[in-house]
């Protein structure tokens, strides 16, 4: 029985700083099969692959539990080199290519063919020269296998993205005797036609006896190409099934599925909000934002006064870009209307002065002055934008006492665990740093609070506290909150409406009690794809 | 939790980290030098007054580092720009035949104005080379000093006190201030205490500037600058214009450099032109780094302590070294300390640096 499987990962568990990201995951890949691994962002797919490849990030954070069997034998994979020696290849999500080198050189990098010359005969084989002729031949063979007609001597820089992806694959193919090839979201950057070619290539490779582990979000592709499917959710395997038993709907449901809290009370609230409809507080029209990796391509939304509005979707689809664009942190175009007043885009001060406040997803990079004390962190935006905490005299001197007193008030209100208002924020835990960010936004007394990824990188207990805090602000102070999050469960537990962003646009707006299937389909962009087809 | 912190604070190693190894080593070396000086029978009173004078005369130049570090530019290696502005102002006061405190005040004001203007353009330049301010600043300083060598020769100064006695064209390398504003501050309210001459006016003037910089760092603009320096992305998200904050920082820094050199000259008694300002920035940078500043964070305390340690070391080391080895080692010591300190500060890891975050 065991011999049938090429790769078996048994009871794999992994913790990052007390944060459990994988829980006793089992994964079996048969010889010559295409096995799909699907799951939301943060479900643990990348971590699992990092373990398989012995990436340094795994071992520098305390290693993992569990065992890996390859061809029936137990193996220890400590470095990527070990993985390569086992004949495992990987096509990365982000290209690992040298732009200035030619296609051939990239394919042959560090496995160059060499021949002797005069100097190398005298001084040793380190000085052998490259045998370009035979390297070109090898590269050509690999490219032909993929049906790629480009010149193998072209430099990588300037090639279309899709071609780069194929060069990556060609490099893995050129490694002879490759047994297992991992594709990490290979179709994410490809056009439909290119994706089609890729899928055919994968089938062809599988026919040659190479096993393929295929990681993706695109559910239709999964059904088209794979033999078996493993679904990960929250670090656990929720299902492992043959592709012939699966449908897009079923997979979507498995991928997203969560129990939803407080559904009934939700219904009532939504009805109440609907009654007050027309009270639009924030209007976004045709917003486009040039945020690298999170491009927004024309979003139109209306957000009602007093609601908690969620922005969900998979990573890279543009949900993060929306709040950043509104706040003018990345160049954007379109129209933003707050309280019937249009605000200037690309001007952070204008957004802050018109009743918007923002808690950034990049907490340590954008959200905090890590080497400054808590009280200054909380007060500084209000000082700069609203002239608060200043003693008005000839010069605008900051009023240290009122800054400290305000910080003390916030520390008590938000329950920030610290040694005092003068502690440096660097020394705080993630959850408490997040509370400082929220305190800073609250100090602006905004009408609308934009919160991005409020629970990213903080532990489970603190997550709940932060979410409860947001709900409390909404209920008690009537603050309108727009929350962006990769965790759908989180959005569904606190939001009144949730917009799912796909490919930089709104794919659809759902209420939190909509079914898992509906959410799953929107997140995978199946709806707009179907629209295109019909 | 709190108790644990308290016992930790008492830990010896924590005290050492708080004070910092370099300061600890320099302090003990200084102590060692002072004891040797006493044993060798050197006049301690004179040494102490000399330390005080040098603290006052170099202090403002070191203070000039604070706004540039706080605004995120790092130590102002282009301080020579400010220095030449100050020199122009001082020579101008002589050319206009001014004397005494009024000449000094005139020089200070003109120096500040010139320094601000030059600083503005220097700031525009630095905003184009973010991340390489230190290298660019060093070479800007070098170039400007060399350019000014031409200026000193060609400028149409007429005062016979300043131009070469034979040719009649161009300024001398060293111009005496004896009949102008030599030691006007040093002698202001000066008194003697236990054989120690206290340069009250000079120290008060330095204290005044410390206070002004301290005050500025607490204003709205000062805080904006602090935010821009500690985290530019944060500052942008708070609606702060990072580029203009950097320009303000470098304008103040350059103006302080210009004022600083005038104070330096009045205490020294001479104006030194041509290549003299070339290495001024390095001593100022070294001083503030010795004081415990990093290239990202600096306070008034760092500047005062740093200037004191750096200058004290030089003042005491010179006579002791002369007694012991009979060779003039002072200049060598000065260069080793200042460059060593800069090297140390540039290579050390930022205290409390970022931990590796989970991928």
Q: Tens-digit pLDDT profile for chain B (359 aa)?
A: 444 444 444 566 666 666 777 777 778 888 888 888 888 888 888 888 888 999 999 999 999 999 999 999 989 998 999 999 999 999 999 888 888 888 899 999 999 999 999 999 999 999 999 888 888 999 999 999 999 999 988 888 888 888 887 766 788 888 888 888 888 888 888 788 777 888 888 999 999 999 999 999 888 889 999 999 988 889 988 888 999 999 999 999 999 999 999 999 999 888 888 888 888 898 898 888 888 888 888 889 989 988 998 888 888 877 777 777 656 666 777 777 778 777 776 776 544 333 323 22
Residue in chain B closest to A419 (alpha carbons) equals B2
A349 at B interface, C-beta within 8 A? yes
pTM: 0.72
Residue in chain B closest to A351 (alpha carbons) equals B239
Say what the pLDDT of residue A18 is. Answer: 62
Of B219, B237, B352, which has the smallest distance from its Cβ to A397's Cβ?
B219
Instruction: Tell me how far the alpha carbon of residue B76 is from its chain's centroid.
Output: 10
Of B227, B352, B359, which has the smallest distance from its Cβ to A380's Cβ?
B227
Contacts of B223 in chain A (CB under 8 A): 376, 380, 383-384, 398
Cα B167 to Cα A25: distance, rounded to the nearest angstrom: 90
Residue in chain A closest to B359 (alpha carbons) equals A57
Dump pLDDT digits (tens) for A170-227: 888 787 778 888 888 776 666 667 777 788 888 888 888 888 888 877 777 888 888 8
Contact A89, A172 (CB under 8 A): yes
A485 at B interface, C-beta within 8 A? no
Domain ranges of chain B: 61-272
CATH topology of domain A263-355+446-533: Rossmann fold (3.40.50)
Cα A427 to Cα A419: distance, rounded to the nearest angstrom: 10
Edge to edge, the sheet with strand A308-312 lists A356-359, A448-452, A480-484, A308-312, A497-502, A505-510
Q: Across the interface, do A383 and B358 touch by the CB < 8 Å criterion?
A: no
Dihedral angle, C-alpha A384, A390, A392, A393, nearest 10 °: -100
Q: Across the interface, do A381 and B239 touch by the CB < 8 Å criterion?
A: yes
Q: Across the interface, do B2 and A419 touch by the CB < 8 Å criterion?
A: yes
Among A381, A374, A295, A282, smallest CA distance to A330 is for A295
Helix (H/G/I), strand (E/B), else coil: A6? strand
**Please, what is the end-to-end C-alpha distance for chain B in angstroms?**
29
Mutate to test the interface with B, among A51, A381, A400 (most CBs of B within 10 A): A381
A371 at B interface, C-beta within 8 A? yes
Give CA angle at B150 (B148, B152), nearest 5°: 70
Residues 6+ apart with CB under 8 A from A473: A442, A449, A479, A481
Cα B91 to Cα B82: distance, rounded to the nearest angstrom: 14
Asked whether this chain's domains A1-86+179-257 and A263-355+446-533 adopt the same fold, the reply is yes
Least confident span in A262-266, A273-277, A376-380: A262-266
Model confidence at A271: pLDDT above 80: no
Burial class (CB in 10 A: 0-12, 13-18, 19+), B177: buried
Give the side-chain half-sphere CA count within 13 A for A13: 8
Q: CATH classification of A1-86+179-257, choosing from 3.40.50.300, 3.40.50.150, 3.40.50.1980, 3.20.20.60?
A: 3.40.50.300
Cα A338 to Cα A356: distance, rounded to the nearest angstrom: 8
Crossing angle between the packed helical segments B220-230 and A374-386, to the nearest 10 degrees: 120
Cα B78 to Cα A331: distance, rounded to the nearest angstrom: 33
Domain ranges of chain A: 1-86+179-257, 97-176, 263-355+446-533, 370-433
Cα–Cα distances (Å) from A241 to A185, A228, B206, in that order, read 20, 6, 78
A381 at B interface, C-beta within 8 A? yes
Cα–Cα distances (Å) from B270 to B175, B215, B254, in that order, read 5, 32, 21
Residue A164 binned pLDDT confidence (cut-offs 50, 70, 90): confident
Return the higher-pLDDT residue of A336 and A21.
A336
Residue A260 binned pLDDT confidence (cut-offs 50, 70, 90): very low
Q: How many CB atoms lie within 10 A of CB A277?
A: 10
């Amino acid at each position: 029985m065991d011999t049938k499987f090429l790769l078996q990962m048994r009871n794999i568990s992994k913790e990052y700083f007390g944060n459990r990201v994988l829980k006793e995951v089992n994964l079996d890949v048969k010889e010559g099969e295409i096995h799909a691994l699907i799951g939301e962002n943060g479900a643990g797919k990348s971590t699992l692959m990092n373990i398989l490849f012995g990436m340094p990030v795994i071992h520098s954070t305390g290693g993992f539990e569990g065992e890996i069997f390859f061809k029936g034998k137990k193996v220890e994979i400590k470095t990527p080199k070990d993985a390569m020696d086992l004949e495992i290849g990987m096509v990365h999500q982000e290209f690992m290519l040298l732009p200035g080198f030619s296609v051939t050189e990239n394919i042959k990098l560090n496995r160059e063919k060499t021949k002797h010359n005069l100097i190398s005969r005298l001084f040793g084989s380190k000085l052998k020269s490259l045998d370009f002729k035979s390297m070109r031949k090898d590269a050509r063979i690999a490219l032909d296998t993929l049906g790629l007609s480009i010149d193998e001597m072209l430099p990588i820089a300037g090639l279309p993205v899709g071609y780069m992806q194929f060069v990556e694959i060609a490099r893995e193919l050129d490694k002879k005797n490759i047994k297992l090839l991992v594709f990490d979201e290979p179709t994410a950057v490809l056009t439909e036609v290119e994706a089609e070619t890729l899928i055919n290539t994968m089938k062809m490779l599988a026919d040659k006896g190479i096993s393929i582990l295929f990681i993706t979000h695109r559910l239709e592709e999964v059904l088209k190409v794979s033999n078996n499917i493993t679904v990960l959710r929250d670090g656990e395997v929720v299902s492992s099934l043959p592709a012939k038993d699966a449908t897009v709907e079923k997979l979507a449901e498995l991928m997203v599925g969560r129990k939803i809290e407080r559904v009934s009370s939700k219904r009532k609230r939504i009805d109440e909000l609907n009654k007050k409809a027309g009270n639009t507080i924030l209007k976004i029209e045709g917003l486009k934002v040039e945020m690298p990796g999170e491009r927004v391509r024309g979003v139109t939304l209306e957000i009602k006064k007093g609601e908690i509005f969620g922005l969900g979707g998979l990573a890279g689809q543009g949900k993060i870009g929306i709040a950043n664009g509104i706040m003018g942190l990345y160049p954007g175009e379109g129209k933003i209307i707050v309280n019937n007043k249009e605000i200037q885009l690309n001007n952070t001060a204008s957004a802050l002065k018109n009743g918007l406040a923002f808690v950034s997803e990049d907490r340590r990079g954008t959200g905090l002055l890590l080497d400054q004390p808590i009280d200054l962190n909380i007060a500084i935006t209000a000082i700069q934008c609203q002239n608060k905490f200043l003693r008005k005299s000839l010069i605008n001197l900051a009023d240290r006492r009122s800054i400290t007193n305000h910080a003390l008030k916030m520390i008590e209100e938000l329950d920030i665990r610290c040694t005092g208002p003068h502690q440096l924020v660097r020394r705080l835990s993630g959850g408490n740093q997040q509370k400082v960010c929220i305190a800073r936004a609250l100090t602006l007394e905004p009408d609308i609070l934009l919160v991005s990824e409020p629970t990213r990188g903080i532990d489970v207990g603190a997550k709940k506290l932060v979410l409860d805090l947001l709900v409390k602000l909404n209920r008690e102070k009537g603050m309108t909150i727009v929350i962006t999050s990769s965790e759908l469960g989180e959005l569904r537990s606190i939001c009144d409406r949730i917009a799912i962003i796909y490919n930089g646009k709104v794919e659809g707006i759902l209420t939190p009690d909509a079914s898992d299937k509906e959410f799953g389909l929107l997140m995978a962009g199946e709806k707009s794809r179907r629209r295109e087809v019909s | 939790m709190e108790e644990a912190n308290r016992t930790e604070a008492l830990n010896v190693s924590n005290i050492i980290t708080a004070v910092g190894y370099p300061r600890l080593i320099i302090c003990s070396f200084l102590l060692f030098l002072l004891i040797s000086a006493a044993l060798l029978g050197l006049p301690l009173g004179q040494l102490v007054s000399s330390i005080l004078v040098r603290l006052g005369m170099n202090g403002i130049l070191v203070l000039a580092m604070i706004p540039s570090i706080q605004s995120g530019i790092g130590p102002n290696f282009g301080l020579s720009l400010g220095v030449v502005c100050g020199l122009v102002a001082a020579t101008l006061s002589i050319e206009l035949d001014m004397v005494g405190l009024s000449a000094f005040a005139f020089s200070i004001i003109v120096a500040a104005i010139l320094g601000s203007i030059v600083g503005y353009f220097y700031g525009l330049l630095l905003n184009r080379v973010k991340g390489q301010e230190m290298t660019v600043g060093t070479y800007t300083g070098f170039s400007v000093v060399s350019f000014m060598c031409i200026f000193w020769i060609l400028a149409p100064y007429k005062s016979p006190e300043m131009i070469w006695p034979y040719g009649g064209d161009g300024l001398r390398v060293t111009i005496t201030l004896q009949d102008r504003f030599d030691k006007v501050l040093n002698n202001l309210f000066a008194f003697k205490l236990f054989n120690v001459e206290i340069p009250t006016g000079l120290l008060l003037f330095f204290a005044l500037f410390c206070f002004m910089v301290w005050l500025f760092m607490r204003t709205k603009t000062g805080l904006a600058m602090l935010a821009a320096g500690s985290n530019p992305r944060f500052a942008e998200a708070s609606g702060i214009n990072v580029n203009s904050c950097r320009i303000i920082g470098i304008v103040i820094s350059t103006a302080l450099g210009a004022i600083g050199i005038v104070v330096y000259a009045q205490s020294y008694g001479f104006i030194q032109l041509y290549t003299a300002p070339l290495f001024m920035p390095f001593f100022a940078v070294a001083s503030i780094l010795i004081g415990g500043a990093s290239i990202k964070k600096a306070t008034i305390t760092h500047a005062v302590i740093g200037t004191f340690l750096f200058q004290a070391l030089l003042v005491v080391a010179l006579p002791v070294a002369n007694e012991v080895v009979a060779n003039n080692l002072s200049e060598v010591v000065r260069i080793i300390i200042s460059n060593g300190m800069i090297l140390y500060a540039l290579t050390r890891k930022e205290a409390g640096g970022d931990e590796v975050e989970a991928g």
